[in-house]
Structure 1
Amino acid sequence: MTPTARILIAGMSGWLSGARAADNATGPADAIARQNMLQLIHLRWIAVVGQVVTILAVHFSLGFHLPLAAMMLVLAALVVLNLFNLLRLKSARPIGPYDLFLALALDSLALTAQLYFSGGATNPFTTLYLLHVILGVVLLEVWATWAIVFLTSFCFLLLVAANRPVIATGLSDQAFFGLFIMGMMMGVVLDAVLLVTFVSRINSNLRRHDAHLAELRQRAAEETHIVRMGLLASGAAHELGTPLATLDVILGDWRRMKVFAKHPELAQELEDMRGEVKRCKDIVTGVLLSAGEARSNEVRASTLRAFLDEVVDEWRATRDGEALTYAPDLSGVVPIVAESTLKQVIHNVLDNARDASPHAVRMSAHVADGWIVVTVEDQGPGFTAETLENLGTPYNSTKGRAGGGLGLFLVVNVLRKLGGEVAAANRPEGGARVVLSLPLASLQIGRRHAR
């Protein structure tokens, strides 16, 4: 078989099986409804194949004369219904409760037609009605479930009142009864196997849906926490702006006093104080910029290498620069937006690494497949298993001080907002490793303007 033929067969089988059914979902509820519809489609394929085999075996091997043309026409209708439902999954229109109800109702009517042509109420496979009822309980709302109950009950009563008798040649009453008992056993086993298989799948879909909702609630709570901290930081920055400006003015006035001109030591200390005040003002400005305030309409363009060099230089200027080994692997000019929040994120990770390993911190950076990857390593004690398990949750820290763990919490959430991710692990040779991955497209100038 040629590669093209294999690709075509794989594509056709994937389409017939409804692969990636949830791709066009408009939300979590629609995604779970599409997955449930997919289970009904799979069940219908099994029913079609099973009925073809059973009908042919009963007609040609056991001596029962069945209306093959009529029964095959019902199976063809089920195939058409499945193809229609597959097309329905490909569309963007949400799957609603009426769609699932209609699918189960049509399956019940198709089963009734097949039973009518093969013995009616005396057919041992009437137990398959229970499969539709139980699936209705799992998949449908209360009103729809009761509607399925009334429909299957009404269909069974119709089979009792009217059916097309099956003529068997060459079978004694005892042999016929034995076949009936065997058919009953096969029906019960088939019901049990199908129910266990498909109800388990449906419950798995529901559990994934519940887990997704729990994750969304957790993210909403984390974002609310971040908003509160941002408001607190922004308010504190505004409050600190005035006293810092006053201190800067006073220190500037002192600088011109004769007493400092006569004492170089005092003059140097004064300059050191002015430098620290300037640093505090820069930090306050950075807080306001990160909060979205005091931001100009112009975007500061840079390159990836220049931006990361600037991040490292600023960190070294205000911390123990000797502790950091910086090894970028960035070739070419990659234009980006100098994102202040990303700078703060990298500073935060470097601060944590320096706290754990004051004399040995390493940072590397490279671009791979359109992603910026920044790796920070240290030679400290590493992360505990609990910290790694709860990575990105607030107050998840081993430092034992109030407010600890917020740094990595903010790192994870800022990267998530930018479309990236954070991974943390312990190095085999000792120490910790934090990897920041960010799509390069999220820092492109055009994309940032669009946001």
Structure 2
Amino acid sequence: MSETISPPEASAPDPSWPRALRRPARGRVRLRTLLAIRWVAVAGQASSLLFVNLALGYPIPLVPAAVAVAALAIATLVPQLRRKSNARLNDRESALYFAFDMVQLTVLLGLTGGLHNPFSLLLLAPVTVSAAALSFRSTLGLTALSITCINILALFHLPLPWPASAFDLPPIFVFGLAIALALAAVFISVYVFKVAEESRRVADALMAVQSALDREQRISSVGALAAAAAHELGSPLGTISLIAKELTKDLPADSPYRPDAELLLSQAERCRHILAEIAARPEQSTKDHFHVLAAPLLVELAAEPFLRPSVALRIESKSEGGEQDPPVMPRRPEIMHGLGNLLQNAIEFAKEEVQVVIAWSREELSITITDDGVGFPPDLLDRLGDPYISAALGRYGGKLMRRGLVARATGTAGVPKPDRRQGDHMGLGIFIAQNLLERSGGSVQFDNNDFGGAEVKVVWPRSALNSEAHKE
């Protein structure tokens, strides 16, 4: 069985694509957390100095060291008194706080042995926190500052407090330790930043998936509510209209109540007219009455908002077993929005035709979407479905962008123009579609067909679709 859907003579881009979520600004560190860590550092530094000087009896320049600790305490107390504890620091403020902590620790270490002091490893702590929470620019600056502090401590420092003879490490060892700490700062900053960045991207992308699903559910709920209102209000309005007509007939022409009765009748007729218009919009009412639809009809409904006059949509049904009638599918927002994204992508890049083959057996149902367009970039086939794929392509992505292949690979070609640039940058179209369809129990495969166009195959186990259909 096959069916060709003629595109409408004029079609506007459907705004069903969720607005690309702007990522929150980096460096949103809570002031309360930062101040708590600082007070721990103040207590730790003060207790260490007193223990080494009083309990162990090691010679320490106690006054300068106490001034350094006091500076950290004052720098912690002032924002605690002047700002709300639940305030969040922006990226710049957080970086300045961490930079001050690093400089203060460098001064304290310089007074107590420099790199000879085993606590010099604490210079890596601000870099690690910055890589996990701040922007790459701030992390790069703090990494450079840490390397500078390490080199200064390797060259300029007071002797390490020691009970008897002076403790002095060979210069080659101090040099090697400085190199090791510098390399550790670079490695930790890069590695932690990459891991944190990937986690942020996935979290933001999943938030976009949830946003798309919520919007589709709201649209479906509004349509169902409109249909229910049109159905439920029809009978009471009919009764009101009938009584108003009788009152209008029975009241004399000069009755002071006749104008009120005529107004009541006209307003009731107006309400009936509005409800009739709502009921006449199939996209908002009658379609939403059907929670379970035949697979070809569901594909047709998912593709309808994106049809173009120059591209024909051909739907074929193929049975691979004894069952001849197409199986039914639940009309869930995940399935409708996921298939809609994939069909929109295919229609936007097709030259003349998009073919959808629906095949089913007793075990599974598959929907294969192929087009005669440019296809997916071969080098990106393995990465399709990753969030922010276009942002990670670098120079290669720029070349593909000029050829339109990044939008092809990210599924953002059909984004309305106001959101299009940002959508291309984020590359969430295919990611959203894949996650929504996998949430419904299906699996998505991407490939190019023999003619150079794109081919996307979605497969559901029949058991998953049947269980979902019974839930509706």
TM over 0.5: no
| TM-score normalised by length of structure 2 | 0.36
| TM-score normalised by length of structure 1 | 0.37
Which one has a larger percent helix, Structure 1 or Structure 2? 1
